[in-house]
Amino acid sequence: MKNLMILSVKNSLSTIAPKLTHDVLIENHPDNTVKATLLGLPDCQGSGNTETEAIEKLSQSLQTRLETAKIVTLEIAAPPSENPWIKFAGMHKDNPLFDEVISYILTSCTWKHGCQNRNYEQGELNAQYQVK
């Protein structure tokens, strides 16, 4: 079975632009300048003599960039995951001692110790697990 990735793009047609929050890397350089870089978009930067000036230039750079581009929300559906225990299902089906083990479990554990949560009568369990 192939793993399929389902992509869905949401694009708001609203005329009111939502406020976006971005993480910015601020770097102080030896020449007493400050560089602000938008994390995730390393080519979107602003430089100035102060942190505030660098952030303002970065903001202007981003606004200029967004005049010819747009931001959309991308939802990626995770591929369905398999139950991790499924690989063990049936692993002992061809074991000639399987019936004997099930019989031991049913008689030794459930009825000798008075299991409080049993939902079946012993005969039903024996039939379900084909205990001989």
**Taking the mean position of all CA atoms in its chain, how far away is CA 81?**
11
Q: CA neighbours within 13 Å on the CB side: how many for 59?
A: 9
pLDDT, position 55: 94
Between CA 114 and CA 95 the distance in angstroms is 28
User: Please, is 89 exposed, middle or buried when counting C-beta atoms within 10 Å of its C-beta (0-12, 13-18, 19+)?
Assistant: exposed
**Measured CA angle at 51 (ends 45, 57), to 5 deg:** 40
DSSP classification of residue 27: E
Residue 94 pLDDT > 60, yes or no? yes
Q: Is the pLDDT of residue 115 over 90?
A: no
Q: What are 9-67's pLDDT values in tens digits? A: 455 445 566 677 889 999 999 999 999 999 988 899 999 999 999 999 999 998 898 88
Average pLDDT, the chain: 76
